[in-house]
Amino acid sequence: MRVGFIGLGSQGGPMARRIVDAGHPTTLWARRAATLEPFAGTGASVAASPAELARASDLVCVCVVDDAGVEEVLTADDGVLAGLGEGGVIAVHSTVHPDTCRRLAAEAAGRGVRLVDAPVSGGGPAAEAGRLLVMAGGEQKDVDLCRPVFASYGDPIVHMGPVGSGQVAKLLNNLLFAANLATASTALGLGSALDVDPVRLAEVISHGSGASFALDRVASGGGSLDRIAAHAGGLLRKDVGLVADIAAAAGAEPGAVLRAADAALAAMKHPR
């Protein structure tokens, strides 16, 4: 399968490299030439525009930062939809509002193109190891078509349901992560107030029933959320806000998990 990849950041770059190394004919496009430098000497081709990339691809993977970026890359005059042929597939790896994917899927369908939302979790190290979690939403046949490419960087690959459901799953995952950050930092802070060393307490809890990925992240920052805020504060704020909007629109009550996530965001002193 001919693959196009747009969004060569800290996570997208390793994903694209795994696709190239798996032997898929790969075309890249990037606004910044520097992000293409790691691919010099590989089998990857470089396109002058998203439309040109799409004309050389059967599947176009998009891993840009936000909704506006996805919209621009896909729908601009020289965007992916201007070049992707009938029967082509777009995989949105960005974490965005589910309605953005549903609307873009409808627009793509009018051009004979299918869209799968496939946000990922795990970051650059997991991408390099081929262990990203891929949460896919879309028609079964479309997800199955993408699986050989997704498998180059992802394991497991979970089909969540129709278009948009992958985004809902990713946003709920990030909501729970933010909530766990709050409870973990509070527990370590309480331990300190009770004269228990937070580093040793984190070591104990990490081997007990209270263990979590969030606890490990808080412990690695010495019990503070500042390091997490510097690296992921802005993205977590975006994702928690999206969940709150989706829940409100559906008349659903997110309850304690959203309150805890909000507490974590409030405690982050230096979000991007």
**Residue 249: half-sphere exposure toward Cβ, Cα within 13 Å:** 9
Query: How far is residue 53's CA from residue 128's CA, in Å, rounded to a whole number?
Result: 23
Query: How far is residue 5's CA from residue 7's CA, in Å, rounded to a whole number?
Result: 7
Q: Is 41 left (phi over 0), alpha (psi -120 to 50) or beta?
A: left
Active site residue 238: no
Buried/exposed code over 115-126 (b: 16+ C-beta within 10 A; e: otherwise)? bbbbbbbbeeeb
**Residue 125: half-sphere exposure toward Cβ, Cα within 13 Å:** 0
Which tokens hold the place of 251? Answer: 């008349």
Query: How far is residue 240's CA from residue 259's CA, in Å, rounded to a whole number?
Result: 10
Which tokens hold the place of 174? Answer: 């990030």
| Opening angle at CA 65, ends 116 and 251, nearest 5 | 65
**Residues 141, 170, 238, 269: which is the catalytic one?**
170
Residues assigned a catalytic role: 170
